[in-house]
């Protein structure tokens, strides 16, 4: 065979690297398949059923979710609740950012306090608050603050606070050390360093994280609203469980428009800050 002969004439090449790479890729695929199968058995999941039911689900959605003239009589309620969800997300983010920035400055490795245990405690608090499920916050606050918008805001604030503090900590950890060292060398006090070097260096990233949190919070607020009886989650569930699918569809369309507009505005703001 001519092809075989051609290979033999070439100087021998070490193919071990390629073989290892292929083996590693194969191992990853096998592992993924095994994990998937195991997990499917644990939670009774049928991939075939899931895939085959997607087309029917979409047909069902397009048949039932098209808003009718009748559903527009609820339009003002839907807009009002969507606006309140969006505003709650902004307020929770801003208040959480105020608390978060103080903790992040004190806890960061670049401009934080010298005393290491304080920094460790701040990190631990942020991590615990971030990982406590949102539903737990909502259920806890429902017992004392009852069903209203303020309860939803508080639950949202508590989760946002944990997340933003973590993002802010990462941001402050990454700021360049040069300007801080320069200020320290000129005899600047701790707070002068924070306000003249730390925050100005990080401000664009901090704002970017805040805008990201506003977007994420709209989704979280929808879920919390289901429990606290306010906002998008509440109106959607109200119409959905009373089989007024056309109105529920209108809720979804209004949500899509709102989120896309907010995303576009915040992207524009973010780009202008870089």
Restricting to residues 205-244, name those near other proteins by CB under 8 A.
Answer: 207, 210-211, 214, 218-219, 222-223, 226-227, 230, 232-233, 236-237, 240
Residue 121 burial by CB count (10 A; 0-12/13-18/19+): exposed, middle or buried? Answer: middle
Residues of span 85-114 touching other proteins by CB under 8 A = 87-88, 90-91, 93-95
How many other CB atoms sit within 10 Å of the CB of residue 117? 8
Task: Please identify which residue in the block is written with the tokens 């709650």.
Answer: 88
Contact 194, 132 (CB under 8 A): no
Q: Which of 8, 144, 185, 187 binds other proteins (CB under 8 A)?
A: 144
Q: Which stretch binds other proteins (CB under 8 A): 3-11, 50-58, 167-175, 179-187?
A: 50-58
Evaluate whether 107 touches 194 at the Cβ level (below 8 Å). Answer: no
* Number of residues in contact with other proteins under rule CB under 8 A: 78
Contact range with other proteins by CB under 8 A, out of 10-18, 101-109, 133-141, 172-180: 133-141
Closest CB 2 distance from other proteins, rounded Å: 21
Residue of the chain from 23, 26, 30, 61 that contacts other proteins (CB under 8 A)? 61
Place of tokens 């090449």: 13
Nearest approach, Cβ of residue 60 and other proteins (Å): 5
Q: What ranges in the chain are assigned the alpha helix state H?
A: 2-9, 16-42, 47-64, 75-107, 116-131, 134-145, 149-174, 178-185, 190-193, 199-228, 231-241, 245-273
- Considering the rule CB under 8 A, would residue 77 count as an interface residue with other proteins? no
Near other proteins by CB under 8 A: residue from 1, 5, 143, 185: 143
Task: Looking at residues 4 to 33 of the shown chain, list those that interact with other proteins (rule: CB under 8 A).
Answer: 32
Answer for which of 121, 132, 179, 184 binds other proteins (CB under 8 A) is 132
Q: Report whether 164 contacts 97 (CB < 8 A).
A: yes
Considering the rule CB under 8 A, would residue 182 count as an interface residue with other proteins? no
Residue where the block lists tokens 């529920």 = 248
* Least distance to other proteins, CB of residue 129, Å: 10
Binding window for other proteins (CB under 8 A); candidates: 100-108, 113-121, 123-131, 171-179? 123-131
Collapsing DSSP to helix, strand or coil, 92 comes out as helix
C-alpha span between 265 and 139 (Å, rounded): 33
CB of 185 to other proteins, least distance (A): 18
Please identify, using beta-carbon distances, which residue of 91 and 188 lies nearer to other proteins. Answer: 91
Is 122 an interacting residue with respect to other proteins (CB under 8 A)? no
DSSP annotation string for 123-160: HHHHHHHHHS-HHHHHHHHHHHH-SSHHHHHHHHHHHH
């Amino acid at each position: 065979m001519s092809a075989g002969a051609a290979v033999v004439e070439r100087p021998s090449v070490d193919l071990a690297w390629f073989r290892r790479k292929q083996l590693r890729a194969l191992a990853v695929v096998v592992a993924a398949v095994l994990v998937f199968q195991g997990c499917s058995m644990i939670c009774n999941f049928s991939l075939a059923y899931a895939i085959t039911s997607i087309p029917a689900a979409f047909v069902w959605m397009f048949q039932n979710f098209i808003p009718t003239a009748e559903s527009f009589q609820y339009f003002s309620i839907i807009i009002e609740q969507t606006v309140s969800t969006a505003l709650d997300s902004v307020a929770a983010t801003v208040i959480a950012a105020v608390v978060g920035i103080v903790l992040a400055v004190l806890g960061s490795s670049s401009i934080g306090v010298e005393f290491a245990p304080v920094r460790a405690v701040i990190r631990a608090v942020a991590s615990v608050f971030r990982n406590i499920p949102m539903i737990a916050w909502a259920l806890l606050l429902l017992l004392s603050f009852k069903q209203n918008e303020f309860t939803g805001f508080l639950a949202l604030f508590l989760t946002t606070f944990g997340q933003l503090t973590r993002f802010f900590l990462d941001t402050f950890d990454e700021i360049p050390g040069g300007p801080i060292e320069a200020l320290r060398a000129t005899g600047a006090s701790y707070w002068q360093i924070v306000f003249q070097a730390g925050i100005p260096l990080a401000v664009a990233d901090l704002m970017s994280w805040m805008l990201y949190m506003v977007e994420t919070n709209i989704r979280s607020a929808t879920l919390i609203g289901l429990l606290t009886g306010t906002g998008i989650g509440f109106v959607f569930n109200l119409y959905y469980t009373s089989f007024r699918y056309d109105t529920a569809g209108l809720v979804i369309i209004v949500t899509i428009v709102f989120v896309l507009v907010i995303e576009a505005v915040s992207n524009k703001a973010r780009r202008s800050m870089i």
